Structure 1
């Protein structure tokens, strides 16, 4: 979600449709949650987060999807934060906004009509506005600015999530191969993990 990239695409490929998929939008929401957690901890406690802080213990679960949390995991995240006071309530409000955004993005590939999309968008923007949290409001403003490109995703369902996943695997292989001098072997290792169906046809280079 870069305005520079968007301008470059519109200049070089004027007939192309720019699509922002759910991967990057949710990533933006998760970054918002992490930034908010650090700020609220610093303001309320005058220091960085520690392992004993409820918001620190819940930091990973705050970034997970609701459907990926068991009831026990959800209660372990929700209840301590709710009882923590202002810090916890602020984070839970931001988490609800993130889940509201995910519900909006989940309408892709469902054949939802404009009324359903509009209602989900209204719920998300209202949730953000009512929160009165600067980071959450900025997220809503960003989503609103990129709404045309997000709408293109909702209409087409186009996503580069697979290429993002492959790119992550390639980076992981490169990190594991740090210090290796056989570039051909590293390339073949990368092909093996990213083209599993063709793995039987690949032979690693001789070291």
Structure 2
């Protein structure tokens, strides 16, 4: 039995949610610790000692401290749930491609659009919608005839893209035109241990 993993996060952060989601689906012994971003807790010395950048999520596993949600997914999968990160170099490269997509176009598209409506971020609405449309079209094409993103088995690639794509309507990004994407989200939601991210009362009604 491993140490209880501590995950410092914020309920409305998709980056935090992807780590919590994976810990649940992988059946890891973990504790969620809420960091009160509104109160500035992420800028206090105690939290900055874990992550000097002052961002959630942060994972603590014994004396190992890792920040950055995708880095945490890689660590947890490699150490505790290897079926979610294939050893085959081709499949691992495909997983990595979607981690890059999650950190790139998904972050600058649907995630950023949601930041505008949920957190009043001063970002370019048109740009976020253009990027979102581009990345959703990529995912829609890729998912034709597939169950999950890589090799028909759930991997950390699916976990990494889930939270912000599923909550794209909160940023006024409709998923109506993307049946393959919606099917992927549904397949992820059907995994044992799935936990949802709280919905906000903004954006399009799903």
* Shared fold per TM-score greater than 0.5: no
Larger Rg: 1
Q: Which structure dedicates a bigger proportion of its chain to strand?
A: 2
TM-score of the two chains, using structure 1 as the length reference: 0.31
Q: Which structure dedicates a bigger proportion of its chain to helix?
A: 1
